[in-house]
Chains A and B, each alone.
Chain A
């Protein structure tokens, strides 16, 4: 198993542009998490899904951020319009059940908004 797959690995864009980050969880995992990592704020949970349904999106910073999970094997995190302060590493993680202690993380997408 390749583990959690994220694409792209790196993204450089200009302020105001739409950014879409993609995640493929491990097959059989039914919970998926999106995190943002910055030096200042550490690792922040943005949103998580269970069985493709968003359970808690209280960590989504503002309306410019949206996430979807159309099926069990794919999720997207979209930022529209992007701003320089969105520059961070975005991680996707998956696990079996919300309460599983072991979250399996993807390699992350390093986003730079100029």
Chain B
């Protein structure tokens, strides 16, 4: 069965500390993966996609096919990173995106 898990519902880190939000998936083939973010009082929005290998707001995510993971990382957390983060895979480029359960990140000043 196709599944996406984010083991941490809540994650708290201190400002300036590294942060890693975990995401594991169980999809056959070569899925595409995305991270969405929802800041307080803002709309849920796309943060980054694994295809473009981009760094957005200091965040990066590497697709590890061996471990079937797509963890979101940032070397130095900022207060404005506090938000809800959703890992979102899709089976192929023709399928809809499915959202994981989400991780609420709180950056402590």
Contact = CB atoms under 8 A, between A and B. Distances in A.
Q: Which 3 pairs between the two chains have the least Cβ-Cβ distance?
A: A42-B101, A105-B44, A99-B94
A44 to B, nearest CB: 8
Interface in A1-53: 3-4, 31, 33, 35, 41-43, 45, 48
Contacts of B46: 101-103
Interface of A: 3-4, 31, 33, 35, 41-43, 45, 48, 91, 93, 98-99, 101-108
B43 A98 contact: no
Interface residues of B, number: 20
Given A101-B34, A101-B46, A45 B99 contact: yes
- Chain B at the A interface: SS class: loop
23 contacts: A3-B43, A4-B43, A31-B96, A35-B99, A42-B99, A42-B100, A42-B102, A43-B86, A43-B99, A43-B101, A45-B96, A45-B98, A93-B44, A98-B95, A99-B90, A99-B94, A99-B96, A101-B34, A101-B49, A102-B46, A104-B43, A107-B43, A108-B43
